[in-house]
Amino acid sequence: MNGADFIVDFLIKKENVKYVFTYAGGTDAPLLNSMHNKIFYIPTRHEENAALAAVGYSLTAETLGVAMAMSGPGATNLTTGIADAWFDSVPVLFLTGQVTRSTYKFDNPSRQMGYQETDIVSIVKSITKKAKMITDIRELPEIFTKYVEEARSGRPGPVLIDVPFDILKDGQIDEQAWPEFSKPKLKINDDVIKIFIDRVLASKRALIVAGGGVNNSKSKDLLIKLSERLQIPVVTSLNGKSSFPNEHPFYFGFIGAYGNRYANIAMANSDLLIALGSRLDSRQTGDTRSFAREAFKIHVDIDKNELNNNIKSDLIINADVNDFMESIFSYLSKGPGIRCRTDVNDKWVEYFNGLKKEFDVVTDVKGTNKNVHPKKFLQELSKYNNEDTVYLADVGNNQMFAAQSLIVKKNQKFLVSGGLGTMGFALPASVGAYFAAPKSHIVAITGDGGFQMALQELQTLKHFNIPVKIIVLNNQILGLMKVFQDEIYNGVHPATVDGYSAPDIGKIANAFGFKFKRVDTTEEALDFIPEFFSTKESLILEATIHEDWTCYPKMKRGYPIEYAVPAIPDELLAKYMLIPMFTSKNPIQTSGR
């Protein structure tokens, strides 16, 4: 068989790959030909979107995603999606066709020899776990097996394999058994588990920070079990929002720069903070010296480079969070008892419920009565919806409105571009999400900016009859960036207001054959929710959002995490501080975020 046939054989027989997201080009033509009638290939309308669709597929199916493109511009167009997978730890195999070996420059100092030749391997070295150009067809079995295993193992991430056209089309290799590669689990000592249990028993205000690593390690059910067994409430990062049921009484909210005010205040007052698969980066912690300053900090992460990075912890555990939680239950099964902490936890939950009522997400920060209240609309939308649903939020105000407001339930997912923050993420990622979960509701939440970046994928959605529900929160500006300009550039708005505009969303919907609805008030939006979910066909819902609506509250620069803008009176904050507080007149002077 030739190289292309071998690769397709590997994907089908070894990895059970069913879908490949791609865009046709000359150097990947042999792969497309070999896939024809064997693997369901999904042509997107841009290579970047093929990459993001593979990310959406992987996050939804919790398995390997595959994206493919030709050399040159096809390969370079993949790079944003590759970086997205890298920063959010998503296992994706990227395949690129390369020019023939006879026309590739290798060490030749000339810029280019082959038409559409590009050294994609060098370009993506810093945003992949492994990247390699195949120079000998005999490398295929080992490289493909090793690289796919690498994509999934440890901290997951993307890999790229670049294969020259002549190897794909004319090279010959015998069908053979594939080598096996495996990596041992990191062993967790019982002494470490004992320290953990002792700290839990001694605490009165324990809190788990669940990050994207909980989802990556497929540990959501274990986290629920751990939280309930040890009576420890949970807050989540942006990438970890769907790692714990948001309707659970132990769910204490979404934390960080744009987190729920009540969640950030609760975290500030914890006396034991357990970070599971969360980097504890500056957007989660604010000022590092004041962060959870009276808490004993335990940090569990598969990536040793994230431990003691931004925040210095009292106990670091380099392990997969799934292995860690399994080790806890294994330890407890050996006989060590654990006394009931219900009485302690009841007081902690009672405190939090008062905090949440005081700073309710819908009423904490007021915008305007004009047009649609984005937080109220999204919250009510998620309350109404009890089905298996994949929410995909783009980047901008819309993402933070969704993270602050949506109640993501146990059987639902919340997918975002977290680390890279890729505008235009939601539409292509929803293509991948659908093929991973065709029976689920797919709800893409975007703004007018992100919508314009990827609107060509409306044709992909329509071509495959994907019944996606798209919400466009339209304020006719780049809202999140405008707020940033307001804060540091005295309200000058180049390229966010001045020079920016949005098209007629209804006409676009009509052009692509989508059902369309526009709502201009909160009442209209709420009234449309039942029809939004009952509609069987693809739908674009445009919600008019006044530009006065921002995604506040937001952590205040240079202050502890419990301080946010718009500021609340010190006496009100003091009412909920269980530890000594800093006053707004005496901030900790650091660079903040």
Same domain, 27 and 127: yes
Average pLDDT over residues 540-555: 94
Supply the CATH number for residue 342's domain.
3.40.50.1220
Same domain, 212 and 286: yes
Residue 408 lies in a domain: yes
Q: For 532-578, what is the HEC assignment?
A: HHHCCCCEEEEEECCCCCCCCCEECCCCCCCCEECCCCHHHHHHHCC
Res. 589: pLDDT tops 50 = no
Band (pLDDT 50/70/90 cuts) for residue 183 is: low
Of 169, 201, 216, the position where a domain reaches its end is: 169
What's the rounded Cα separation, in Å, for the pair 225 and 227? 6
Tens digit of each residue's pLDDT (9 = 90 or more) over 351-400: 999 999 999 999 988 788 899 999 999 999 999 988 899 999 999 999 99
Query: What's residue 590's pLDDT?
Result: 39
Query: What's residue 581's pLDDT?
Result: 85
Band (pLDDT 50/70/90 cuts) for residue 591 is: very low
Same domain, 444 and 353: no
Contacts of 7 (CB under 8 A, 6+ apart): 31, 34, 95, 140, 144, 163, 168
Same domain, 292 and 333: yes
Residue 565 lies in a domain: no
Helix boundaries (H) for 295-444: 321-333, 342-358, 374-384, 397-405, 426-436
Same domain, 151 and 228: no
Residue 9 lies in a domain: yes
Average pLDDT over residues 160-176: 93
Cis peptide before 553 (omega within 30 of 0): yes
Res. 253: pLDDT tops 80 = yes
Structure tokens of 593? 């975020």
Same domain, 79 and 198: no
Query: What's residue 254's pLDDT?
Result: 97
Same domain, 428 and 384: yes
Same domain, 241 and 210: yes
Residue 178 lies in a domain: no
Tens digit of each residue's pLDDT (9 = 90 or more) over 32-44: 999 999 999 999 9
Tens digit of each residue's pLDDT (9 = 90 or more) over 8-65: 999 999 999 999 999 999 999 999 999 999 999 999 999 999 999 999 999 999 999 9
Of 337, 96, 122, 87, the closest CA to residue 212 belongs to 87
Of 392, 443, 439, 414, the closest CA to residue 251 belongs to 414
Of 310, 329, 358, the position where a domain reaches its end is: 358
- Domain hosting residue 48, numbered range: 3-169
Which long-range contacts (C-beta less than 8 Å, at least 24 apart) are formed by 483-486?
Answer: 483/550, 483/551
Tens digit of each residue's pLDDT (9 = 90 or more) over 115-148: 999 999 999 999 999 999 999 999 999 999 999 9
Buried b / exposed e over 88-117, threshold 16 CB at 10 Å, is bbbbbbbbbbbbbbeebeeeeeeeeebebb
Same domain, 264 and 412: no
Query: What's residue 387's pLDDT?
Result: 87
* Cβ neighbours around 357 below 10 Å, total: 10
Residue 517 lies in a domain: yes
Res. 449: pLDDT tops 50 = yes
Res. 592: pLDDT tops 50 = no
Supply the CATH number for residue 441's domain.
3.40.50.970
Strand partners, 22: 43, 68
What's the rounded Cα separation, in Å, for the pair 47 and 50? 5
Contacts of 393 (CB under 8 A, 6+ apart): 399, 402, 403, 414, 415, 416, 426, 445, 446
Band (pLDDT 50/70/90 cuts) for residue 337 is: low
Count of domains in the chain? 3
Tens digit of each residue's pLDDT (9 = 90 or more) over 493-519: 999 999 999 999 999 999 999 999 999
Q: Residues, the chain, total? A: 593
Res. 206: pLDDT tops 70 = yes
Residue 101 lies in a domain: yes
Q: Hunting for tokens 């810093």 — which residue is that?
A: 126
Helix axes 479-488, 397-405, angle to 10 degrees: 100
Average pLDDT over residues 162-172: 96
Compute the mean pLDDT over every residue in the chain, rounded to the nearest whole number.
Answer: 93
Band (pLDDT 50/70/90 cuts) for residue 345 is: confident
Average pLDDT over residues 551-565: 90
Q: Hunting for tokens 């994609």 — which residue is that?
A: 120
Same domain, 244 and 312: yes
Phi and psi at residue 156, to the nearest 5° = -60, 165
Query: What's residue 175's pLDDT?
Result: 78
Average pLDDT over residues 554-582: 91
Average pLDDT over residues 401-417: 97
Distances from the Cα of 405 to the Cα of 83, 222, 532, 544, 566, angstroms: 28, 25, 18, 17, 18
Query: What's residue 583's pLDDT?
Result: 58
Asked if 195 and 171 touch (Cβ cutoff 8 Å), the reply is no
Residue 537 lies in a domain: yes
Same domain, 436 and 298: no
Residue 557 lies in a domain: no
Same domain, 306 and 245: yes
What's the rounded Cα separation, in Å, for the pair 302 and 277? 7
